[in-house]
Amino acid sequence: MQTLAQTLKQQATSDSLTQLIFTLAETSKAISKAVRHGALAGLLGATEQENVQGETQKKLDIITNDMLKGALKGDNSVHGLASEEEDDVVAVNQGGEYLVCFDPLDGSSNIDINSLVGTIFSVLPAVEGELTEQSFLQSGRNQVAAGYVLYGPSTMLALTTGHGVQLYTLHPETDEFLLTDANMSIPKDTAEFAINMSNQRFWEAPMQTYIADLLLGKIGPREKAFNMRWIAAMVGDVHRVLSRGGIFTYPTDNKNPLKPYKLRLMYEANPMALLVEQAGGKASTGYENILDIDPQEIHQRVAVILGSANEVDTCLSYHDIDYSEEPSL
In the complex, the residues that contact ligand FBP under the rule CB under 6 A are 84, 103, 106-109, 196, 232-234, 250, 262
Q: Nearest CA to 21 among 174, 171, 141, 148? A: 148
Q: How far is the CB of 262 from ligand FBP (least distance, A)?
A: 6
CB of 113 to ligand FBP, least distance (A): 12
Cα torsion 305, 309, 310, 312 to 10°: value is: 10
Told to check if 103 binds Mg ion by CB under 5 A, we report: yes
With beta carbons less than 8 A apart as the criterion, state whether 237 and 229 touch: yes
Q: Is 262 annotated as a binding residue?
A: yes
Q: Smaller CB distance to Mg ion: residue 77 or 155?
A: 155
Q: Please say which residue, 9 or 255, places its beta carbon nearer to Mg ion.
A: 255
State which residue, 126 or 306, has the beta carbon closest to ligand FBP: 306
**Binds 109, which of Mg ion, ligand FBP, none (CB < 5 to 8 A, cut-off by type)?**
ligand FBP
The response to whether 106 counts as a known ligand-binding position is yes
195 residue type, one letter: I
Q: Decide if residue 237 touches Mg ion (CB under 5 A).
A: no
88 is in an annotated binding site: no
DSSP string, 299-311: T-EE-EEEESHHH
Return d(Cα 315, Cα 329) in angstroms, integer.
Answer: 20
Contact between 74 and 92 (Cβ < 8 Å): no
198 marked as part of a ligand binding site: no
Tell me whether residue 22 or residue 261 sits nearer to ligand FBP (CB atom).
261
Count H helices and E strands in the chain, helices first: 8, 17
Sign of CA dihedral 199, 203, 208, 211: negative
Which residues, at least 6 apart from 53, have a Cβ–Cβ distance to it below 8 Å? 84, 299
Of 159 and 304, nearer to Mg ion (C-beta) is: 304
| Nearest one of 139, 140, 104 to 120, comparing CA atoms | 104
Looking at the DSSP bridge assignments, the partners of residue 82 are: 101
Q: Which does 196 bind (CB under 5 to 8 A by kind): Mg ion, ligand FBP, none?
A: ligand FBP
Q: Taking each helix axis as running N to C, give the angle between helix 309-318 and helix 205-215, from 0 to 180 degrees, rounded to the nearest 10.
A: 130
- Judged by beta carbon, residue 84 or residue 97, the one nearer Mg ion is 84
Q: How far is the CB of 146 from Mg ion (least distance, A)?
A: 14
Min dist CB 304 to ligand FBP, Å, is: 9
Known binding residues for Mg(2+): 84, 103, 105-106, 268
Binding site listing for substrate: 106-109, 196, 262
- Binding site, annotated residues: 84, 103, 105-109, 196, 262, 268
Chain residues binding Mg ion by CB under 5 A are 84, 103, 105-106
